[in-house]
Structure 1
Amino acid sequence: MEPPEAPAGHVYPTGMKLGLLMTSLYIAMFLVALVGWYGAAYMLTNCALLLVFGKIYIFLNVKTVFLTTVVLFEVASAVCGAAPNSVAFIIGRAIAGLGAAGVQEEILVLIVYAAPLAKQPQYQGFFGAVYGISSIVGPLIGGAFTSNVSWRWCFYINLPFGGVVLLFVFFLLRVPEGVSFRDSPAVWKHKLAQLNLEGVVILLSGVVCLCLALQWGGFTYSWSDGRIIALLTVVIVLLIAFISIQILRPKTATVPPHIFIQRSILARFWVSCTVGVHMTLFVYYLPIWFQTVKGDSAVESGIHLLPMVIAMVVSSILSGIGTVRVGYYTPILIAGTCLVSVGSGLLTMLQVDSTTGQWIGYKIVYGFGLGCCFQAPKMAAQTVLPRREVAIGASLMLFEQTLFGAIFVSVGQNVVDQRLALLLARIAGVGLTPGEIESAGLTGLLDRTPSEDHPAVLEAYNSSLRLCFLAALAFACLSVIGSAGMEWRNKQVREEVKEAGRTRSL
């Protein structure tokens, strides 16, 4: 199963045509990442199906798959925007996660037909920046719509931009024809077997059970409760089943075990997981810190993320340029993981009376380091893996970040809720039960407490949220281990070898 290469004589788009095409792909990546922070249902289906879409282009026309998943994402956005109840909203988010998985994965394949090999790293570098920007700008845009219009516009806004993506990609991108939809049932059965759908179902079920156990355990139910024990037992059984399938069916494995034997891929796995955790925790809980401890509105809390965004964009662009010029991505990754560790440590020092200058400086350090961490894991897969496994390696990177992010969103919520309930119980004038705290939400507790107790409540908020920041710091420090374990491979040499091989084959 070979990943696609542009055929000999393929005419790449140039000039304005190339600019419009790449802009539409960046918009698509921006949209699917932008609303990825509005619920675990999205993240769970997204991470599980990333692995499927890492293989599906082998059997179908990649352009058709991409356009179909964009339409699916648009329909899901409309469902979420018009949802009359929470059930409809959750269903819409789950469908959106499916569509987003296809968009994220197929973009990495479409770039092969949009730009020649020598220019692909340059354009791929911007995808990391776009993804990171949208992940952090999401709370800003969502807060603006929620405060001034309606939360429903967080989803309606996708519709016109998605239409632009469909229009430009349909007319401007040319790819070779894929397999025929008229293949016999036997052929389609073989193709579906290659996707290892049973492994995906088992994995998704296990992640759902794990997230529920981590979110409920110790707060909604005690850790010794039969429901929590049952969920964790199911997780262990499903994990064993998933690993067994990967080992017993190596040719169709969703996660080929032999890939992880390679040193750089194992190190990259470590980095992707740890970066996904600390980035998710900060993106979720820094806006809450501003809204609760500093009393900001949703819009203001989003605006206060801009120092992090700007620093991240600058460093992402500079790291991409530096890697293309020097050829080595490992030193940039090491510098990035060290910087995010320092920045995370600074962010754990946030207090109720922290000044504007302090939190701006802390975020700049963290954001600059984060931007340096986006490109290297993907470049490692492109450099050290055989060509036939590069797409699987890229999908694994997205999967790792999304999976661990989804898990630790639940963990973070549990930690904050338990710590806050404990601290509020020590305040004489505050008599809220854990259930009342959960129903009020983090930003609504001040309205339920006497004004004279507000300073103590704010300290409780700050202490609870800092536990999440401390967890993020731990994972940021762990990411340094992965970056140090990455091989020093020259990407330029690998690309020259690939190009020479293609030239000899013509």
Structure 2
Amino acid sequence: MALLPTCGRLYAFYNIKWVYCLSLVVFEIGSVVSALAPNSMALIIGRAVSGLGAAGLVSGTTTILAYCVALQKQAKLSPVILGMYSIGSAVGPLVGGAITDSKVLTWRFIFWMNLPFGAVGLVLVCISLRKPPPAVKGDLPWTQKIRQLDIPGAILLLGATSCLNLALQWGGIVYLWSNANVFGCLIGFGLLSITFLYLQFRGKENATIPLHIFRSRTVSASCGFMMLVQVAIVLHSYYWPIYFQSVRNTNARDSGINLLPVIVSNSLGTVFAGWIASKSGHYVPLMWIGPPILATGGGLYQLIRANSPRGQWIGFQILSGAGYGICSQMPILAVQVVLSKADIPTGLVMIMFFQMLGGALAPSVGQNIFTDGLLRNLNEMQGIDGAAVVAAGGTEFREIVPPELMNAVVDAFNSALKNVFWVALAAPALAWIVGWAMEWRKLSDAKSATTQTRATEVDEEKEK
């Protein structure tokens, strides 16, 4: 997440085909390190290497699409890409769980599996991008390219996001909020963020994130919108399986299968919204329609009980998935309408950055709320060691809880989950409010918007 802006800028400076291929190779190297890891530290390092490659892949996918496909057609093709992501999100945990449970394959085979898929992807990219369009800033001298990558800024951003996530995970659970570990991380996040913003302001075009793109209220609103809806959908994806395992005593494989209504409705909603946007040229109304549907899915969880019928929770999941699918791709289209061609890669990367930021914050915030609520509920029961139940996890707690108290503990889990789903209601509700800050533009306005933006840039250069 933290390296997305830096990796995204590579596509503005160098051949997009080879940057993408190199990112894929780095991702695969990380997979090999993970597969061969002799200990946890080596596994963590392998995942970090893969994360670096993934930053290039995520930013490259949208950038290549923006470079090679007309904006009107992107509204149809973006849902295909997002649909593949949704399918992978559904199939990946199921296949990964089956492989991990296998005594023959073991968890290491999960990382070996990446190699043939990566090889196929590498061949496809090489074939399909025989003559990639030139990089928009490819004529800059290499020294200026290095400066504009802003390595110090990337390091500060990495430190700031790490401090924030650690503070949100530890606060109130592992340590008190007043503990030096938590408070120190929050102070570190603040100081590193301020220093990062100062470098961006001083660096102007050499900064990791050129702040001038946020002068457009569409860009600023799109980033905030994407972060908020991502918080909601990640909470759904993360905590519905916990409901199935802890409350309904479902195994890990079946809990993944039970999440399919979210995945399928998300994919269908994405395709439908893309078709509407490509036909009408309007994307802003979809940013007003999707969040309330997504919020409704989160709010209706308050009706869920341990014995709720299948049709009830399937319906709630369908609402959540469809709501997210309707609106999630619209910020990607919006920034391309209002930004110049040179700024589009940066704008797209910022959308991806805030999307991943929401995805990173959601489990940290959700876990804090869930664990805090669960401990409060359990500590009110006689004969229950709340800390031991939490440590046992969402399925193993049944081995240490007396049968006569089992229903009460299950209700405690469900009650704590309801606290989390209030956040899944509030986040898209805020996104709906943010969506009203969007400029009313159409996909067909992209050319005029680009011309206007370039004229503004020329005026700014004259003033300098």
Query: TM (normalized to structure 1)?
Result: 0.83
Question: Structure 1 residue 210: deviation in Å?
Answer: 1.4
Which whole-Å CA distance do the structure 1 matches of 2:241 and 2:37 have between them?
Answer: 25
Does 2:270 correspond to 1:285?
A: no
Alignment of 1:321-470 (within 5 A): 321-433=275-387, 436-437=388-389, 439-470=391-422
Does 2:442 correspond to 1:490?
A: yes
Does 2:79 correspond to 1:125?
A: yes
Question: Structure 1 residue 247: deviation in Å?
Answer: 1.3
Alignment of 1:5-84 (within 5 A): 47-84=1-38
Query: Which residue is 2:217 aligned to?
Result: 263
Answer yes or no: is the 8 Å Cα contact 2:337–2:449 preserved in 1: no
Flag the 1:121–1:431 CA change in 2: closer, same or farther, 3 A: closer
Question: Structure 1 residue 115: deviation in Å?
Answer: 4.5
Question: Structure 1 residue 459: deviation in Å?
Answer: 0.8
Flag the 1:251–1:113 CA change in 2: closer, same or farther, 3 A: closer
Which whole-Å CA distance do the structure 1 matches of 2:428 and 2:84 have between them?
Answer: 21
Which whole-Å CA distance do the structure 2 matches of 1:411 and 1:417 have between them?
Answer: 10
Answer yes or no: is the 8 Å Cα contact 1:147–1:299 preserved in 2: no
Alignment deviations for residues 355-413 of structure 1 (CA, whole Å, 9 cap, x no partner): 10100010111111111112210110011112221111100011001112212312222
Query: Which residue is 1:28 aligned to?
Result: none
Which whole-Å CA distance do the structure 1 matches of 2:32 and 2:19 have between them?
Answer: 20
Which amino acid in structure 1 is aligned with residue 245 of structure 2?
Q
Question: Structure 1 residue 271: deviation in Å?
Answer: 0.8
Query: Which residue is 1:163 aligned to?
Result: 119
Query: Which residue is 1:301 aligned to?
Result: 255
Alignment deviations for residues 94-127 of structure 1 (CA, whole Å, 9 cap, x no partner): 1111111111111223335654665344223322
Which whole-Å CA distance do the structure 2 matches of 1:349 and 1:388 have between them?
Answer: 49
Does 2:131 correspond to 1:175?
A: yes
Which whole-Å CA distance do the structure 2 matches of 1:99 and 1:156 have between them?
Answer: 16
Answer yes or no: is the 8 Å Cα contact 1:135–1:283 preserved in 2: no
Which whole-Å CA distance do the structure 1 matches of 2:338 and 2:286 have between them?
Answer: 17
Alignment deviations for residues 11-49 of structure 1 (CA, whole Å, 9 cap, x no partner): xxxxxxxxxxxxxxxxxxxxxxxxxxxxxxxxxxxx111
Which whole-Å CA distance do the structure 1 matches of 2:302 and 2:206 have between them?
Answer: 44
Structure 2: segments with no counterpart, 5+ residues = 452-464
Which whole-Å CA distance do the structure 2 matches of 1:417 and 1:84 have between them?
Answer: 32
Structure 1: segments with no counterpart, 5+ residues = 1-46, 500-506
Does 2:158 correspond to 1:204?
A: yes
Which amino acid in structure 2 is aligned with residue 455 of structure 1?
N
Answer yes or no: is the 8 Å Cα contact 1:133–1:309 preserved in 2: yes
Question: Structure 1 residue 79: deviation in Å?
Answer: 2.5
Percent identity, aligned pairs only, is 38
Flag the 1:314–1:177 CA change in 2: closer, same or farther, 3 A: closer
Alignment deviations for residues 422-461 of structure 1 (CA, whole Å, 9 cap, x no partner): 222222222243xx44542233222221122111111111
Answer yes or no: is the 8 Å Cα contact 1:424–1:457 preserved in 2: yes
Which whole-Å CA distance do the structure 1 matches of 2:49 and 2:216 have between them?
Answer: 34
Alignment deviations for residues 45-99 of structure 1 (CA, whole Å, 9 cap, x no partner): xx11110122112322211111111111112123323333221221121111111
Answer yes or no: is the 8 Å Cα contact 2:71–2:443 preserved in 1: no
Which amino acid in structure 1 is aligned with residue 61 of structure 2?
I
Question: Structure 1 residue 171: deviation in Å?
Answer: 3.1
Which whole-Å CA distance do the structure 1 matches of 2:119 and 2:271 have between them?
Answer: 28
SS at match of 2:174: coil
Within the candidate set 255, 263, 267, 1:313 is matched to: 267
Flag the 1:117–1:145 CA change in 2: closer, same or farther, 3 A: same
After the TM superposition, which segments of 4 or more aligned residues of structure 1 sit over 6 Å from their partners? Answer: 496-499
State how many pairs are aligned: 446
Query: Which residue is 2:188 aligned to?
Result: 234
Flag the 1:349–1:82 CA change in 2: closer, same or farther, 3 A: farther
Which whole-Å CA distance do the structure 2 matches of 1:216 and 1:245 have between them?
Answer: 29
Alignment deviations for residues 323-375 of structure 1 (CA, whole Å, 9 cap, x no partner): 11100001122111121111111134322121101000101111111111122
Cα RMSD after superposing both structures: 2.3
More deviation, 97-106/400-409: 400-409
Question: Structure 1 residue 138: deviation in Å?
Answer: 3.6
